[in-house]
Amino acid sequence: MNTTTTTTNITPAAQATLDRLNKPSQLKGGGLGALDGGDFLKLLTTQLTFQDPLEPTDNEAMLAQMAQFSALAATTESGATLEDISTKLDRLIAAQEAALRPSTPRP
């Protein structure tokens, strides 16, 4: 019986990213919550590096991944904007309440 093994040459950066993704998460929201744009680009580059040239990734699948990443980036940005608006509103309300408090007369 003849057995063959295939080896893949993975760059250290790609291996580190894969190890980090495969490591059990300690986060309550899951390990994917800790990923950022840099991780996405590393994974995309790794995917493109190791795809079969005779059967490349379907364009629709690639566009779907890009759309998902764009939607995630937009959601993250809007969350940061809403947080900023909330902070400014809290300061405005505190300033208005301070202005409406009766001042104590000085003797």
Per-residue pLDDT of the chain (107 residues), as tens digits, is 444 444 567 778 777 877 777 665 554 445 555 666 777 778 778 887 887 778 777 788 878 888 888 888 888 888 889 999 999 999 999 999 988 887 666 65
> Which residue from 37, 40, 43, 55 is spatially nearest to 15, judged by alpha carbons?
43
Look at residue 26 in the predicted model and tell me its pLDDT: 52
Structure tokens at 26: 């300690």
Look at residue 32 in the predicted model and tell me its pLDDT: 55
Look at residue 88 in the predicted model and tell me its pLDDT: 94
Look at residue 90 in the predicted model and tell me its pLDDT: 93
The residue whose two tokens read 């947080």 is 83
pTM for this one?
A: 0.42
Distance CA 29, CA 24 (A): 12
Tell me the chain's radius of gyration from C-alpha atoms: 25
Look at residue 1 in the predicted model and tell me its pLDDT: 44
